[in-house]
Amino acid sequence: MPTKFKNEPFTDFSKPANRKGMEKALLKVRAELGKDHPLVIGGEEIMTADKLVSINPSSPSTVVGTFSKADPALANRAIETAAAAFETWKNVPAKKRADILFKAAALMRKRKFEFSALLTYEVGKSWAEADADTAEAIDFMEFYGREMLRYAAPQPLTKTAGEQNELRYIPLGVGVVVPPWNFALAILVGMTTAAVVTGNTVVLKPSSDSPAIGWKFFQLLREVGLPAGVVNFVVGSGATVGDVMVAHPKTRFISFTGSKEVGIHINELAAKVQPGQIWLKRVVAEMGGKDSILIDSETDLDAAAQATVASAFGFQGQKCSAASRAIVVASVYDRFVEKVVARTKALTVGMPEDPATYMGPVVNRGSMEKILQYIETGVKEGGRLVAGGKRAGTDGFFLEPTVIADVAPTATIAQEEIFGPVLAVIKAKDFDDALRIANNTEFGLTGGVWTKNKKRQERAKNEFHVGNFYVNRKITGALVGVHPFGGFNMSGTDSKAGGRDYLLLFLQAKSISQKVK
């Protein structure tokens, strides 16, 4: 039996050995950038003429890697191959499957800095953010490996005379795994390994913004002995190969994390029964957020401002859990805005490989332009720009951390997910009003309240309708096993990744009853 699950500790980079380790990894990984990579179906490496080039958002002329794109025919072949591999993989004992995850976790732990360094180059994560992403990936494998052993053990049933009863959890079949780029390693690893440890086979289609991280993890899986065809690595645009795989009649489930728009589209497409399809597809869709921190009058305003800034600007605000709205009770509004602005202006923006950098670039040019447009809209609709608002530098996709005050609760930037370093501050009349505003979006992912008042804490716990709620702390940084993660309403199907219910989404239960004398 494995030891009890423990979260992977974050690296203390003030220690010279850790600092040196990361510096060395950054050099090593940089020297390896720019290579050409195949897609892999059933163990066969395939190069295609159509290429996807992954670039470094801090320095867009730097190629992180070039990837062969699949076409619809290859996408179909990947599903067929996964379906064939399922026939053997489903019979591999749970313990053996779990052991592969434990081995992969151990190897990733050994190469932690290398994975983090690649995150720095491919998606612009600072040292601390990259380290947290890698730690979470390790956590998912350690956690889901143990969870599989729990589901494989005898399940408690009510006893009845004359029968021997048992409940077995068995896998579903072929899954299409579609992760986002923002936790380019952790979410990709969690989604892939949860599906595989439960006995399913998958086609993994990494985000077009972070295929290199996906590739590095896929290689690790091969190294620890995952049989060919269990995970098939297919790069390509969501709109072309994604649709083909979601629609394929042999696809049994889709595990998606990304934007609301794409989640809705996948859900619709998956609902249509195709000729030859003999099941209803299961869709696990974790989507966007518009997450708020509510600031009450009875609170430590310095600590609240600190937590708000950390929640809003960590990884440039590109977290589904990021605070993009601060809803502040009128009596402390001006003082709070002042404190948030001072802290925001003190943040460093720069190359993420520099350990002094707090904020790196946003992920791509399109994203940068969209965020700048949201800032413009925010001001046009009556917001008051109190910090940032512009590009920082001219080469990479850097933006200043931006705070817009006096935003109306129904303004565009108070309602739509921006996914960048922009915080909207909204004034509420009182606590009741603030709570009402907090629930006025179509999303329901994370949220938090800052108050010392016990009654208000309880009210917020009951009434603030989000999947992950935080009291007197930041609203990002959910830990595997500690804070099972998933949202309500348009934030998704509330899968609670990193929790005890998650693996059930990739399993079905067979109830077996045998007559005994």
Which alpha helices (H) appear in 111-250, and where do they start and end?
A: 112-123, 127-152, 186-197, 211-223, 243-247
Least separation in angstroms between residue 79's CB and ligand NAP is 13
Least separation in angstroms between residue 398's CB and ligand NAP is 18
State yes or no: residue 251 binds ligand NAP (CB under 6 A). no
Least separation in angstroms between residue 318's CB and ligand NAP is 7
In the residue annotation, 400 being an active-site residue is answered as no
Alpha-carbon span 208 to 178, nearest angstrom: 11
Kindly identify the residues of this chain, within the stretch 379-438, that bind ligand NAP according to CB under 6 A: 417, 419
Alpha-carbon span 297 to 35, nearest angstrom: 55
Strand order in the sheet with 35-37: 35-37, 59-68, 51-56
Kindly identify the residues of this chain, within the stretch 304-343, that bind ligand NAP according to CB under 6 A: 320
**Of positions 257, 468, 476, 489, contacts ligand NAP by CB under 6 A:** 257
86 Cβ contact list (under 8 Å, min separation 6): 171, 173, 174, 200, 201
In which element (H, E) is residue 418 found? none
Selecting among 122, 129, 286, 417, the annotated active-site residue is 286
Alpha-carbon span 400 to 422, nearest angstrom: 9
In the residue annotation, 376 being an active-site residue is answered as no
Selecting among 122, 129, 320, 400, the annotated active-site residue is 320
Partners of 176 in the beta sheet?
203, 254
Choose one: 19-27, 119-127, 251-259, 397-405; the region binding ligand NAP (CB under 6 A): 251-259
Closest-CA residue to 172 (of 263, 284, 276): 284
Count of CB atoms within 10 A of residue 377's CB?
16
What number of CA atoms fall less than 13 Å from residue 16's CA on the CB side? 0
72 Cβ contact list (under 8 Å, min separation 6): 240, 241, 244
**Binding string, 272-291, against ligand NAP, x = CB under 6 A?**
--------------xxxx--
State yes or no: residue 182 binds ligand NAP (CB under 6 A). yes
State yes or no: residue 239 binds ligand NAP (CB under 6 A). yes
Least separation in angstroms between residue 336's CB and ligand NAP is 25
**Of positions 173, 190, 238, 317, contacts ligand NAP by CB under 6 A:** 238
Kindly identify the residues of this chain, within the stretch 472-501, that bind ligand NAP according to CB under 6 A: 485, 487, 491-492
**Of positions 56, 192, 201, 207, contacts ligand NAP by CB under 6 A:** 207
Residues that are catalytic: 286, 320
Which spans of this chain sit near ligand NAP (rule: CB under 6 A)?
178-183, 187, 205, 207-209, 237-239, 242-243, 246, 257-259, 262, 265-266, 286-289, 320, 417, 419, 445, 485, 487, 491-492
